[in-house]
Structure 1
Amino acid sequence: MRKNNGTNRLLVLFAITAQRISFQTFGYPLPGLPFANGLELVENYNSSWLLILFSYFPIPFILFEFWGRGRKLTEGYGKVLLIRSYKRSRLCIQTIVHILLELAGITAVQILIFSIGEPGWHMLTNEEMLKTIAAYYAGLGALILLQFYLEMFGESDYSNIAVNIYFIVSIFTGEALIRLKGAKRLLVLLFPNFMFGRRNGALAVGDINIKFAYAMAALIITSLLFGILSVLKFQKKDIY
């Protein structure tokens, strides 16, 4: 599959804009920055599923923006740079840093789009806003680095599909665990839940009793783990 970067970035922008419109017209009181706080447990299952859909909507487009970065290291410019005596670890780390910087830009655009006008969402305190943004960014970073790591093993298409499926399964399973008062420790294996303010302790009122530091640590450790595993795998991978 070939990817047009310009077209895909426009699709990311469209998805974020559509997400904002969806949350704004939903007709349910939500906290500020609902792209990171709108995943709320509500009694009406149909409404709950809609909130999951709205929260998920831009994720495939964002993941696709970073699709193929691992493959480029082994089949594209990465091979050329290695021939020029680049260290594998250095090249892989540089790629990860570029990914995280680009993700910061996308997250900033998302914040800007959701901050335009007066949509009527509940105001967040400065602390809640910082926690919300940090956890959402860390969660997206972990998902993208998981995709990057999986690309080291084979087809990029499969890694993208696998991460999307994992995200959806994690959110629905997390919702079931919360409704059933299930063990919150299991959510560590379903880390996408920790991206969202009502499931990571960033907000004063949430759907689960959890300390924000615990959720944030889980996201950071997960991101570091996938980053380190990617470097180690790339160092051992036969690309010639």
Structure 2
Amino acid sequence: MTTDTAPAFPVCQCCPRRLLGPEVQHGRLVCRPCEQRIDAELGEVADLWERLPELLIPGTAGGDDAGERTAGPTGSKPPTNLAVLSLLGGGVTEPLLAEEDAWRRELRKSGHYPLTPHRGGQDNTLRGTVHWLRLNLHWACGAYPDVDDLDQALRRLLGEMRGLVSGDRRRREALEPRCPMPARGHAEDDPAAPKCRGQLTYDPRKSVIRCDTCRRAYGPHEWDIVGARAGLITLPFTLPAA
């Protein structure tokens, strides 16, 4: 849910892009590139879901070291991949169902709209929820005030699912200090703009520093800019001030 400093101009909920005039006129809250990206990521969740069952047996996950497991107190290994089992048992469907419930509540504010149906098992629930979210994504990008909740949920889910399928177990790491860039909706060259101060994280899989508040993302060629503004960035590397 967006809780940022009030922007000086309309910006997308899910990225720092300034909304175009026609987008503002049509009441859009999310830019079209982000709408297309979220739609594609929902499709990727459905595709990765189909690959999870084959990873249940320890040693069948992606990567060369996928078979390595830490032994338990008695030296035994778990009979199944617990991380995969957790995702298949509700770790994927629950956050997506929470978003569907929230969108349906918003739709009921303007009239009758049915509650989220019970679709049966996890497979049917996943397929039905993803289909419903994709079907209603265009409406949400123009009328629902918290599409960024789904955006962030997808980022977390896909990070975990991609890691299991590929065998890459690296995770995002929090950085300090907090984001030194101007708050959302303020020009980066405006010296009077309030600072974002959001949490910076480093994604080792993509070699990207990202702020979860202002939604900015920086590749390696931009790290010195962020580091200079912050004075210092720590973990997993250090950048001196300019």
Q: TM-score, normalised by structure 1?
A: 0.31
Higher helix share: 1
Query: Looking at CA atoms only, which structure, 1 or 2, has the larger radius of gyration?
Result: 2
- Identify which of structures 1 and 2 has the higher relative contact order when contacts are C-alpha pairs closer than 8 Å and 6+ apart: 1
Q: TM-score, normalised by structure 2?
A: 0.30
